[in-house]
Amino acid sequence: MTQPYGVRDVEKLLRLPRSTIRALVVAGFVSPARGARGAWQFSFQDLIVLRTAQALADANVPARRITKAVRELRRHLPDAMPLSGLRIGAVADRVVVREGTARWQAETGQYLLEFEGDPAQGSLSVIERARAAVSREDAHAWFEKALKLEGRDAAGAAQAYRRAMIADPKFVDARINLGRLLHETKQMPQAERVYRDAIKACGEDPVLLFNLGALYDDLDRAPEAVRAYEAAVHRDPAMADGHFNLSLLYEKLARPKDALRHMARYRALTSARSK
Residue that terminates a domain, selected from 105, 127, 149: 127
Q: pLDDT per position in the chain (275 positions), as tens? A: 456 788 888 888 777 788 878 877 887 777 888 887 888 988 877 887 777 777 666 666 666 666 776 766 666 565 555 444 555 554 444 555 555 544 555 543 333 344 444 444 444 444 444 444 446 677 888 899 999 998 889 989 998 898 888 888 889 999 999 999 999 999 999 999 999 999 998 889 999 999 999 999 999 999 999 999 999 999 999 999 999 999 999 999 999 999 999 999 999 998 866 65
Separation of CA 148 from chain center: 26
| Type of residue at 91 | V
Instruction: Identify whether residues 172 and 106 lie together within a single domain.
Output: no
Instruction: Identify whether residues 36 and 55 lie together within a single domain.
Output: yes
> How many domains would you assign to the chain?
2
| Helix, strand or coil, per DSSP, at residue 117 | coil
Neighbours of 42 (CB within 10 A): 23
Do 211 and 237 touch, CB atoms closer than 8 A? no
Instruction: Identify whether residues 137 and 12 lie together within a single domain.
Output: no
Do 171 and 165 touch, CB atoms closer than 8 A? yes
Q: Specify the pLDDT at position 122.
A: 47
The dihedrals phi and psi of 94, each to the nearest 5 degrees, come to -125, 145
Separation of alpha carbons 215 and 218, rounded Å: 5
| Helix, strand or coil, per DSSP, at residue 3 | coil
Neighbours of 130 (CB within 10 A): 11
For residue 111, being part of any structural domain is answered with yes
Separation of alpha carbons 113 and 88, rounded Å: 6
Residue that terminates a domain, selected from 127, 151, 172: 127
Instruction: Identify whether residues 152 and 176 lie together within a single domain.
Output: yes
Do 151 and 123 touch, CB atoms closer than 8 A? no
Residue that terminates a domain, selected from 98, 127, 156: 127
The CA radius of gyration of the chain, in Å to the nearest whole number, is: 22
Task: Give the sheet arrangement for strand 86-91, strand by strand.
Answer: 86-91, 94-99, 102-107
Q: Model pTM greater than 0.75?
A: no
Distances (CA, A) of 89 to 19, 102, 110, 129, 216: 26, 13, 9, 9, 39
Separation of alpha carbons 59 and 171, rounded Å: 12
Do 85 and 116 touch, CB atoms closer than 8 A? yes
